[in-house]
Amino acid sequence: MDERLQKYDNKMQKSYDNLLEEFGSIRAGRANPHVLDKLKVDYYGTPTGLQQVANISVPEPRMLLIQPWEPSMVRVIEKAILTSDLGINPTNDGKVIRLAFPELTEERRKDLAKDVKKKGEAAKVAVRNIRRDANDAFKKLGKSSDISEDEVKELEEKVQKLTDKYIANVDKAVEEKTKEILTV
């Protein structure tokens, strides 16, 4: 691939990857350890990711089991979950913390599906903004007469193909996540 295009391809890929990461944190009725990815706990005065202080497993389809490496961390982790926006009450037996995910209501599923579509639209806007930036850069390059008008047109067509590819990927990801959420 042309190195002038590579930079924009990388940016579009990052926008797409970011969308997938956001989708990972949306819970769809099944327990998914990724809903805890953004959760930080106070580990000896340092905000630390939950995965670095505990083992997280999925013993049942709608339950997460959090097993801290140190027993003293049980209370700290429990407090972090309660103050987060997860909306799930943890239970603990002194050694492990259990997070039971309730069945999602029809209304909640529809809200989550709308949220997924909004995030998808935001990702498409980001991809289109990158295309605009690329086209502007190529036009400037053409004006400084480093390259011909035909080359500028060719680069713009290639950026459009990249844009179409990433927008199709975003649409597919939105469709899959929406289907996952709406499946009871």
Please say which residue of 100, 125, 145 terminates a domain: 100
pLDDT, one tens digit per residue, over 47-57 is 888 888 888 88
**How many domains are contained in the chain?**
2
pTM of the complete model:
0.71
Residues of the chain with pLDDT under 50: none
DSSP SS3 for 42: strand
CATH of the domain at 115: 1.10.132.20
Instruction: Please report the pLDDT score of residue 184 as a whole number.
Output: 62
Q: Are residues 131 and 174 in the same domain?
A: yes
d(CA 10, CA 168): 16
Instruction: Please report the pLDDT score of residue 53 as a whole number.
Output: 87
**Cβ neighbours for 47, distance < 8 A, ≥ 6 positions apart:** 40, 41
CATH of the domain at 46: 3.30.1360.40
pLDDT, one tens digit per residue, over 66-92 is 899 888 888 888 888 888 777 778 888
Instruction: Please report the pLDDT score of residue 130 as a whole number.
Output: 92
Closest CA to 98 of 123, 46, 63: 63
Q: Are residues 54 and 89 in the same domain?
A: yes
CA angle 147, 138, 157 (to 5 degrees): 100
- 174: domain range? 3-24+105-182
